[in-house]
Amino acid sequence: MVYEASSKSEALTNVPRHVAIIMDGNGRWARNRNKPRRAGHRAGVKSVRASVEMAVQKGIKYLTLFAFSSENWSRPKEEVSSLMSLFIEALRREVDELHRNNVRLKFVGALGELNSGLRDRIRQSELRTAGNTGLCLTVAIAYGGRWDIVEASKRVAQKVADGQLRVGDIDDAEFSAGLQLSSIPDPDLLIRTGGEQRISNFLLWNLAYAELWFTDVLWPEFDENIFNEALSFYAGKQRRFGHTGDQIEAVEC
Ligand code: FPP
């Protein structure tokens, strides 16, 4: 199937270039139906597929999904292992279609902590889609924002220790070059489903100027109406990056 622009999205203006999503609420969705948590995660995969399709249709260039946090390792062993199996299965099933739709797939996080089966799948799907020029889909697995910042700090510290960099020359650009999302622009819009209004150690550095949008809707129920609500919220925002509204309007004219 090839993703096509839908009539609902054609009217959208000021579409964010980069949308990041904290997909929360799978467990509650399952509990509400007296199902095991893994059924919620399985339903969550369908929303992942739908959100990728919608992002392509709406002309979003970058979509970044928080699939598994550094802290999620402390969930019950059987939930962790069913999530890992689900990731492998989803990759096996979806990669052809993503490729057909010109989607480039990238994974970020402490990928060395994952089992070798999942690491191999990740490597294969990244290689397969590396030349694609459409949506850049980034999936964060075993990812934590603090971990990301610590790793970037080690990189600059090493450069200083090796005499390649002076402490006085460390700036935003030098530092952020060591972050996991260094090759793509910062998110413009963060969406979090599931009712909580927090960042939960997601892209701590990169979200500095993102617009934040929260919904009580649980991730398996995320659909085009909800996505459009988030995009309308974003379209109504004037992003000032520390400037005054008058300064921004002067630039826009
Ligand atoms: C949060 O819901 C969700 C997760 C920890 C896992 C997200 C994973 C998926 C949507 C599956 C597939 C992902 C990809 C990229 C193929 P929760 O379990 O914390 O829900 P709760 O807060 O209701 O308990």
The tens digit of pLDDT for each residue in 31-45 reads 999 999 999 999 999
Q: Residue 137 pLDDT more than 50? A: yes
Asked, for residue 218, whether it belongs to a domain, the answer is: yes
Instruction: Judge whether 179 lies within some domain.
Output: yes
Residue nearest to atom 24 of ligand 1 (CA): 27
Instruction: Tell me if 34 is assigned to some domain.
Output: yes
Question: Is 152 inside any structural domain?
Answer: yes
25 CB under 6 A from ligand 1?
Answer: yes
Mutate to test the pocket of ligand 1, among 21, 22, 23 (most ligand atoms within 8 A of CB): 23
Q: In angstroms, what is the span from residue 161 Cα to ligand 1's centroid?
A: 40
Q: What is the pLDDT of residue 249?
A: 63
Set 24, 148, 186, 188: catalytic member: 24
**What average pLDDT score do residues 110-137 get?**
97
Atom of ligand 1 nearest to the CA of 196: 22
Answer yes or no: is 91 within a domain.
yes
Residues forming beta bridges with residue 211, ordered by sequence position: 189
pLDDT (0 to 100) of residue 253 = 41
pLDDT tens, 62-109?
Answer: 999 999 999 999 999 999 999 999 999 999 999 999 999 999 999 999
d(CA 75, CA 247): 48
**Within 13 Å of residue 228, how many CA atoms lie on the same side as its CB?**
11
1 part of a folded domain: no
Query: Does the beta carbon of 139 lie inside 6 Å of ligand 1?
Result: yes
CATH number at residue 36: 3.40.1180.10
What pLDDT, on a 0 to 100 scale, did the predictor assign at position 216? 98
If pLDDT is split at 50, 70 and 90, which confidence band does 244 have?
A: low
Query: Is 98's C-beta closer than 6 angstroms to any atom of ligand 1?
Result: no
Q: What tens digit of pLDDT does each residue of 209-232 get? A: 999 999 999 999 999 999 999 999
Judge if the beta carbon of residue 178 lies within 6 A of ligand 1: no
pLDDT, residue 5, reads 63
Could you confirm whether 223 is annotated as catalytic?
no
Domain that holds residue 64: 7-252
The structural domain count of the chain equals: 1
Secondary structure, 3-state, the chain: CCCCCCHHHHCCCCCCCEEEEECCCHHHHHHHCCCCHHHHHHHHHHHHHHHHHHHHHCCCCEEEEEEEEHHHHHCCHHHHHHHHHHHHHHHHHHHHHHHHCCCEEEEECCHHHCCHHHHHHHHHHHHHHCCCCCCEEEEEEEECHHHHHHHHHHHHHHHHHCCCCCHHHCCHHHHHCCCCCCCCCCCCEEEECCCCCCCCCCCCCCCCCCEEEECCCCHHHCCHHHHHHHHHHHHCCCCCCCCCHHHHHHHHC
Q: HSE-up of 85 (CA within 13 Å, CB side)?
A: 9
Ligand 1 binding pocket includes 86 (Cβ within 6 Å)? yes
